[in-house]
Structure 1
Amino acid sequence: MHDNKCCSDFQSAVDEYLIRHRSVLDILTKYQEASARVNRAIAKAVTGCGCIQVSASRQSVPENITYSELRNHMSSHLIGEPCPQCQEVIAKELGHSMFYLAALCNLTGISLHSVMQQEYKNVKTLGFFHLS
């Protein structure tokens, strides 16, 4: 019940305080911009701060493993963890992205909590096959 109240309170606050960008086109482009800013914040943690590194290469997957074992052999390609300052910036940008996600939910009459519940059910039901 608490999660639903958190989501509905957040959605209500977004609806109340979103004044200038109420057009679906404004919200779609702001959501895309917010997502790009999340990407930029992570990139700056790598290139500006250096608290995390990206070491990307082809995923090395042994032969004859089960799909459930695959997770143990996949890399995030990240080395380290964001420092407190970079975590703060990344979290701020994620928050802006969530703001515009909630605004899209408001415009379309969709409950953010319902979306999260349905996606959770899909993940739990489909497990490994959810986004493959």
Structure 2
Amino acid sequence: MDNFDFSKFKDSVSESLIRHKSILDVITKLQETNSKINRAVVKSVTSCGCIEIDCKKQNLPDNITFGEISEYMDNHIRGSLCDICKEKIEQELGDHMFYIVSLCNSLGIDLEDVLKKEYRKINTLGKYSLF
């Protein structure tokens, strides 16, 4: 799948969505898939143990610039996903993307345009786009 055709994916989603075609079904399924992603990550910690979450306050030196902040921030993840957990999380992310595309299709929004706009915003504003 070297040359992924996003428009074919959008069409496939539209054709596959039969039972959950209502916007109410789509948004509730989107919320459900989000919960499943969270659960799969948590299970990677609590059941498998392939990763650990080591959370504590992010300590930043007093005299750093805004551009230096990312050097001091931590994602709190220790270890790496095993193949089984990675596959499960990828599956859940795929399901989530299906419903994101479904929502876009239902509302007449082109997700590819949304992603392009976000990409331009990030490249134009850089780190400042997050505030």
> Is the shorter-chain TM-score for this pair beyond 0.5, marking a shared fold?
yes
Check whether the contact 1:8–1:112 (CA below 8 A) recurs between aligned residues: no
Residue type at the aligned position of 2:63 = N
Matching residue's letter, 2:112 = H
User: Which consecutive aligned stretches of 4+ in structure 1 deviate over 6 angstroms post-superposition?
Assistant: none
Alpha-carbon distance in 2 for matches of 1:131, 1:24: 29
Greater RCO, 1 or 2 (C-alpha within 8 Å, sep 6+): 1
Task: Tell me how far 1:99 sits from its aligned partner.
Answer: 0.2
Match of 2:20 in 1: 21
The aligned amino acid for 1:58 is K
Cross-structure match for 1:53: 52
Q: Which runs of 5+ in 1 are unaligned?
A: none
RMSD: 1.3
Which blocks of at least 5 consecutive residues in structure 2 are unaligned? none
Q: Which amino acid aligns with 2:67?
A: S
The 3-state SS of whatever aligns with 1:130 is helix
CA distance in 1, matches of 2:111, 2:98: 11
Instruction: Write the deviation string for residues 8-48 of structure 1: whole angstroms up to 9, x where unpaired.
Output: 11111000001000110100000010011000000000000
The answer (yes or no) to whether the contact 1:123–1:130 under 8 Å persists in 2 is yes
Which whole-Å deviations, capped at 9, do the CAs of 1:64-97 have from their partners, x for residues lacking one?
1111110010010100111010000000000000
Contact 1:11–1:102, Cα closer than 8 Å, also in 2:
yes
